[in-house]
Structure 1
């Protein structure tokens, strides 16, 4: 069972394209929660994803509740610069859902509050706000894959 990446209201087409490419090469699925800050036909989105789009298992959602229904029974982890738990302190399992917020504001405060014990952070300098979204996804996804022996990857 693969990992599932969910981007909540992503705004920047090349970031989402890069995440799509990472999902394609790792076998992770990609869920996009509307509204999106771009069209899925955007040329920058397509260019960032190269010719990998046919390999992306893409699912569109119209709310986080839709995501929760679709992945009922799966474990969810949320990512925020304000998380108290380092992403390396968690043992990820195939099937986990890794949820990232929009580039400008991250995940909604109510989501972070309701899931405080599953909000993870990537360590970085205190003086800077955040990592690029596609880099953050890659860092976390590859750690999850590493912990599980890089299943089905060569």
Structure 2
């Protein structure tokens, strides 16, 4: 379409029951949370080796999206670094995309669907959950302030 660019971020997602995350994450002997998918052959498909996928924040992030209380682990620092560089590049080559997310009256990133009029007027970065109640990604763990500040630093 002529309105958006989609970015897919690999993450196990957000769940209402935080115990769902236990099948994907374990706590290492040094107390770090580590992504540990339950794969029968042990092959994660990770192309960066050696690499241990560790959420940027060690605790489960809780947040409310579309009237649902959700739990999610954060992206990795490497994912944030890549996402920031990619988003900064998109903002540079597609100047209608500003380094900003949709905010509420208190200045926090909104966690609801934008109306058609709001979406038509907005020129920035949105998540799927800003477009439809059927989606909850990127979830409550995405650190929008980190993303936006990082993009602005590269701008």
Shorter-chain TM band: under 0.3
Larger Rg: 2
More helix as a share of residues: 1
More strand as a share of residues: 1
Q: TM-score, normalised by structure 1?
A: 0.27
Quick one: higher RCO (CA 8 Å, sep 6+), 1 or 2?
1
